[in-house]
A and B are shown apart, each in its own frame.
Chain A
Amino acid sequence: GAVVSQHPSRVICKSGTSVKIECRSLDFQATTMFWYRQFPKKSLMLMATSNEGSKATYEQGVEKDKFLINHASLTLSTLTVTSAHPEDSSFYICSASPSGRDTQYFGPGTRLTVL
C-alpha cells in the first residue's frame, strides 16, 4: 500500500513552454500533497504544500505564478511549470500524506530538462 505515482517520469521541453506534472496517490486518499525540488546531490527542497480543494501554500522564494499547483481531488495534484527556462531544469518529486497519518509517501520523481 501507500503508492504514489508521478507522470511523466522524464520530460524535455523547449524554453518558454509549459510543462505539467501529475502526482497521484494510487491506493489511499491524500488530503495534503507536497511538491519538492531536488538538485544533484542535495536534499529535498519543499516548494509548496497542496491541500485538496484549496489554494496551495508556497514556500518563501517559490514563485506561485511560475509553479502552478492544482489539487482537484484527494488522489491527484498537478504542478505546472509555466514558461520554463533552463534554470528550471531539475528533479521534481511529489509526496502525499494519507489522511490522519503522520507521514509522507513519495512519488518516483520527474526529471525536467529545459533546452
Chain B
Amino acid sequence: GQQLNQSPQSMFIQEGEDVSMNCTSSSIFNTWLWYKQEPGEGPVLLIALYKAGELTSNGRLTAQFGITRKDSFLNISASIPSDVGIYFCAGRKGPADNYGQNFVFGPGTRLSVLP
C-alpha cells in the first residue's frame, strides 16, 4: 500500500538551530500536509501544499512540495523550546476532486530542543 517515509525519525537540536526534515514516497502525491503534535493533543495543521514546486512559509516554518511530487520537506528556523513535538507529513493521491480524503500519514519525526 501507500507508504510515506519520514526522516530523521528523531532529532535533538540546540535552541536556535535550524531544523530540516523530509517526507518521501515512491508514489506521486497531489497534496502534502505538515502537522505538529504535542503530547496528549491532536495534530495541528502547520502548512498545506497543493502544487509541485510550491514553497510556503508560516512564521519560522517553511515547507516545499517536491518537483517530482514524491517528496516534501519542512524547515524550522531558529528553533525554540516550544517547537518540541512530533511532526507528521500527510500526502494524498487520487482524483483531483477527492478533496480531504485518502490521506496517508508518515510515521513522524520527533523533535527535541535542548536549551
Pick from A41, A42, A93, A100: contact of B42, CB below 8 A.
A93
Shortest B42–chain A CB gap in Å is 4
Tell me whether A8 is interfacial, beta carbon within 8 Å. no
Q: Which of B30, B48, B105, B108 contacts A103 (CB 8 A)?
A: B48
Compute how far the CA of A3 lies from the CA of B103 in the bound complex, rounded to whole angstroms: 19
Given A32-B101, A49-B101, A93-B42, 19 extra CB contacts under 8 A = A4-B42, A6-B42, A31-B100, A32-B100, A41-B110, A43-B107, A43-B108, A46-B105, A95-B42, A98-B100, A100-B99, A102-B30, A102-B92, A103-B33, A104-B45, A104-B100, A105-B45, A109-B40, A109-B41
Chain A contact residues: over half helix, strand or loop, or mixed? strand
Are B50's CB and A108's CB within 8 A? Answer: no
In the complex, 12 of the A-B residue pairs with CB atoms within 8 angstroms, ordered by the A residue number, are A31-B100, A32-B100, A41-B110, A43-B108, A44-B105, A49-B101, A97-B99, A102-B92, A103-B31, A104-B45, A106-B43, A111-B40
Q: A97's contact among B30, B100, B110, by CB below 8 Å, is which?
A: B100
**What is B's interface to A at a CB cutoff of 8 Å?**
30-31, 33, 35, 40-45, 48, 50, 88, 90, 92, 99-101, 103, 105-108, 110
- CA–CA, A46 and B30, complex, Å: 19
Bound CA–CA A100/B99 (angstroms)? 6
Q: How many inter-chain residue pairs (CB < 8 Å) link A and B?
A: 59
Contact A102 B50 (CB under 8 A): yes
Contacting residues of chain A (71-109) with chain B, CB-CB under 8 angstroms = 91, 93, 95, 97-98, 100-109
